[in-house]
Amino acid sequence: MTDQAPSQVSSSRPPTTWAIEAIGLTRRFGSSIAVNQLDLQVPPACFLGFLGANGAGKSTTIKMLTGLLSPSAGSAIILGEDIGRGSTEAKRAIGVVPEDLAIHDRLTGSEYLMFIGRMYGLSRDTILQRRSELLQWMELHHDPKKLIVDYSHGMKKKLALAAALIHDPQVLFLDEPFEGIDVIASKLIRELLAKLLERGVTIFLTSHVLEIVEKLCTHVAIIHQGELVAHGSIDELQKGISDNSGRQRSLEETFLELVETDRTNLPTLSWLS
């Protein structure tokens, strides 16, 4: 497919340490391979959109990059530290919103943030201050006594994002953070992410909403059936597969071109016709 050979997200000057680096990252589940020989390098202060169809291996990759899942082969390196080996430094540097979150739902929102803050070794005053700001930003401060189990889906997602941010991570992994989030909150979160990017935070985001990716991300990587099929800055990617007319293509068209399987032989749904 497109530029398979240079395995790094291009950037004007290659940094000394990559923010995120995957070397031959592979994960098997029994006989099936979820992620196959993934090589990827992300420089600091880069906003990478990681795209792929359902079951392509996005979440599995994120789990391996954050130390939640050990790779069958290869290694995941964050800021020069191997996270698969349980490096504490690497763990401290990352913030994660996993696909199915990591919430203790019998705590209240503020109790949970206090718990997380403490686990990351923040001082009490810092936690109190950041917690109140985060809760207000996420509009979660209205009912402080509510247990998380009684939160709505979107509220939980927002809380998970707050928890991922409270220790001011240098690298942020977000697995479908916008899924189930309302329009207002989604706008706020996009602003927040832009601000983080300005601060030099590296963001690794998966999403199925390509408009958001197109608007937010500086770079895009596409995974198909466990293999990386494209990566580069958004412009490069769109130019890479520009059609004959020379028209600039949308990310969606590019994406579909790369990952869509042949659907011509599909049966029709007989009872609908």
Ligand X SMILES: Nc1ncnc2c1ncn2[C@@H]1O[C@H](COP(=O)(O)OP(=O)(O)OP(=O)(O)O)[C@@H](O)[C@H]1O
Cα-based angle 118, 171, 22 (whole degrees, multiple of 5): 125
Please name the residue that has the structure tokens 């990716």: 213
* SS3 (DSSP) at 233: strand
* Residue 157 found at the interface with ligand X (CB under 6 A): no
* Residue 115 found at the interface with another protein (CB under 8 A): yes
Residue among 217, 226, 241 at smallest CA distance from 9: 217
| Closest separation in Å from C-beta 99 to Mg ion | 5
State the number of binding residues for ligand X (CB under 6 A): 10
Residue among 121, 133, 141, 216 at smallest CA distance from 177: 216
Stretch that binds another protein, among 96-104, 188-196, 221-229, 244-252 (CB under 8 A): 96-104
Count of beta carbons in the 10 Å neighbourhood of residue 67 = 19
* Residue 245 found at the interface with ligand X (CB under 6 A): no
Structural contact between residues 66 and 50, judged by C-beta atoms closer than 8 angstroms: no
The partner in contact with residue 54, picked from another protein, Mg ion, ligand X, none with C-beta cut-offs of 5 to 8 angstroms by kind, is ligand X
Structural contact between residues 65 and 35, judged by C-beta atoms closer than 8 angstroms: no
* Residue 261 found at the interface with ligand X (CB under 6 A): no
| Closest separation in Å from C-beta 255 to ligand X | 13
What are the phi and psi torsion angles at 198 (to 5°)? -60, -35
* Residue 102 found at the interface with another protein (CB under 8 A): yes
* Residue 130 found at the interface with ligand X (CB under 6 A): no
β partners of residue 77:
21, 82
Query: Would you say 21 or 175 has its CB closer to another protein?
Result: 175
Q: Which of 34, 40, 101, 205 binds another protein (CB under 8 A)?
A: 101
Residues listed for the chain: 273
Site for ligand X in 5-64 (CB under 6 A): 29, 34, 52, 54-60
Q: Which of 12, 16, 31, 145 binds another protein (CB under 8 A)?
A: 145
CB-count exposure of residue 80 (10 Å: 0-12, 13-18, 19+): middle
Q: Which of 146, 153, 187, 195 binds another protein (CB under 8 A)?
A: 146
- The contact set with Mg ion (CB under 5 A) reads 59, 99
| Closest separation in Å from C-beta 160 to another protein | 10
* SS3 (DSSP) at 227: strand
Binding region for another protein (CB under 8 A):
66-70, 86, 88-89, 91-92, 94, 96, 98, 100-108, 111, 114-116, 118-121, 124, 143, 145-147, 149-150
